[in-house]
Structure 1
Amino acid sequence: MKLGVFLVLFGGRPLEEALDLAAAQGLKAVEIGTGGHPGKSHCDPDVLLEDKAALERFKKAVESRGMMISALSCHGNPLHPQKAIAKEFHDAFVKTVQLAERLEVPVVNTFSGCPGDHEDAKYPNWPVAPWPNDFQEVLTWQWDNKIIPYWTEWGKYAADRNVKIGLELHGGFSVHTPATLLRLREAAGEVIGANLDPSHMWWQGIDPVQAISILGRAGAIHHFHAKDTSLDPVNVNMHGITDMQPYTAMMDRAWQFRTVGYGHDLKTWSDIISALRLVGYDYVISIEHEDGLMSIEEGLSKAVRNLQGIIIEDSAADMWWV
């Protein structure tokens, strides 16, 4: 395994400065935003797809620092019921796949998206209860008419270019659990896999180790985010896990994102790393910093230090003792 970082946390700095900061931490990989919610301050597909010299400079900037690009990321909602919004996210995805092919980056990370509840809807609708039965009807319509058709078509587009799609299992989007990921993968093909982030499992009440086992046995983990979550038991009982308060309301929220080791102890994170190794995941552990109690620099450095002590880098030895 290699330790890396989602470089969007340094989005306010020029690419080479951001890469220097990552390299100074001893990181071996970077995940880079190419549009959508992560933005494209470090990597603009519109420029790099048209300018061969710019593309070569971009590659050299990463490789000259002894790093690799683990994924290009363009998280968004290409299924948004407002066509102009959907098109912007869709176009970012398509260009990101094209750029990934050029750069020989094997994974594009994004969200599954979430449609509305009918053709003329204005806003996404995320059903989370099976009753009243209207919610089941909405869910069936979404999967049959939007989710499966879209990802079947554009999954093939990515597969034809030797690019895998890492869908982040995230609340508010149609694919948000191991079950929904596997449902889409069965319909759209093995090009679909998870960009698995334990932080989104914890707040949904899912054990990340079990999620790794479920998805890993199916070969359905394409990329991995290292981010933690802390849960406040008093506030969980007040607001539930679908807490709609803004992330800035940290004193009152049921849960909040933390840097690695500040939501769950390193034994738990060691179990996660071991579970990844057990199912054959030997790719990048990409740190994502979204900790409202720490600066970017301190949050990253603490995550790096905590993970460096537990990540499994070497190949497993032969079982000489058996």
Structure 2
Amino acid sequence: MKLGVFTVLFSHLELDDMLDYVSSKGIEAVELGTGGFPGDAHCKIDELLENPGALSVFKEKIDSRGLTISALSCHGNPLHPQKQIAEPNDALLDKTIKLASLLDVPVVNTFSGCPGDHEGALYPNWPVSPWPHDFQEVLKWQWEEKLIPYWKEKNDLAQSYGVKIGLELHGGFSVHTPNNMLKLREACGEAIGANLDPSHMWWQGIDPVESIKILGRENAIHHFHAKDTIIDQPNMNRNGLTDMTDYSQMKDRAWYFRTVGFGHDSKTWADMISTLRLMDYDYVVSIEHEDGLMSIDEGFSKAVDTLKPLMVKESIKEMWWA
């Protein structure tokens, strides 16, 4: 397994400076944003697709530092009911899949998207209650008319380029649990899988270790994020898990993100790493830092220090004791 980082947190640095810094920390892989919510500070997709020379120089910068690219990420909402939002995200996903193939990057990460509730909608509709039954009708329409047709097409496109799609299970989007991840995968194809982020499991009340088992048994984990979450139980009692309090108002939120080790202890993270290996995931654990209590450097450094000793680097080939 390799320890990596989602480099969006270093968007203030030029590519060379970012690569030098993360490699000095012992990072082995970088996850690069190509646009959408992560931005494109370190990966200008149009330039790289249109200029073979620029693509070659870009690859050399990564290779010369002993790094690999774990994934290209273009998180957005390609199913947004407003075309001026959906269409650029859709086009970006297609281009990111193509660039990933050219760079021999096996995974493209994004969100599943969330449609509206009818063709004339202006905003996404995220049903989270089975009753009143209107929500069931909305959910059925979204999946049958939007999600499945769209992702079946993207599954086939990704397969044609030899690339997998890692959907981040994230609240506010149609795919946010292991169950609806597997539902979409079954309907659309095996190029569709999870970019599994335990932070979003915790706040939904899902045990990340169990989510690894559920998805891992189906070979549906394509990529893994390392980000922690803390539950503030008094605020949870008041606001519930679908808390709409702004992220900046941490004192009042039911839950908020922490750097690795500051929401859950090392044993919990060791259990996740071990379960990933148990489920035959032998790829990258990519640090994502969104901790409102720590600077980028401190939060990132603490995450590295926590995870480094836990990474399984030498899996056995046979059980010599049995």
TM-score interval w.r.t. the shorter chain?
A: over 0.9
- d(CA) in 2 for partners of 1:171, 1:145: 21
2:35 aligns with 35
2:306 aligns with 306
Cα deviation, residue 154, structure 1: 1.3
2:70 aligns with 70
Q: Cα deviations across residues 132-178 of structure 1 (Å, max 9, x unaligned)?
A: 00000000000000000000011101111000000000000000000
Relative to the length of structure 1, the TM-score reads 0.99
Instruction: Could you list the structure 1 runs, at least 4 aligned residues long, displaced by more than 4 angstroms after superposition.
Output: none
2:320 aligns with 320
Is the partner of 2:223 in helix, strand or coil?
strand
1:146 aligns with 2:146: yes
Cα deviation, residue 88, structure 1: 1.1
Q: Percent identity?
A: 65
- d(CA) in 2 for partners of 1:21, 1:89: 30
2:116 aligns with 116
Q: What does 1:84-123 correspond to in 2, within 5 Å?
A: 84-123=84-123
1:189 aligns with 189
Is the partner of 1:49 in helix, strand or coil?
helix
1:257 aligns with 2:253: no
- d(CA) in 1 for partners of 2:26, 2:41: 23
1:204 aligns with 204
- d(CA) in 1 for partners of 2:20, 2:245: 36
The RMSD of aligned alpha carbons is 0.6
Is the partner of 1:5 in helix, strand or coil?
strand
Cα deviation, residue 317, structure 1: 4.7
Is the partner of 2:156 in helix, strand or coil?
helix
Q: What is the number of residues matched between the two proteins?
A: 322
- d(CA) in 2 for partners of 1:157, 1:60: 27
Q: Cα deviations across residues 17-76 of structure 1 (Å, max 9, x unaligned)?
A: 011111011110000000110011110111000011110111011110000000000000
- d(CA) in 2 for partners of 1:194, 1:264: 22
Cα deviation, residue 318, structure 1: 2.4
- d(CA) in 1 for partners of 2:135, 2:249: 30
1:9 aligns with 9
Letter in 2 for 1:88: P
2:232 aligns with 232
- d(CA) in 2 for partners of 1:238, 1:313: 43
2:272 aligns with 272
Gaps of 5+ in 2: none
Letter in 2 for 1:194: A
Relative to the length of structure 2, the TM-score reads 0.99
Letter in 2 for 1:209: V
Is the partner of 2:161 in helix, strand or coil?
coil
Letter in 1 for 2:20: D
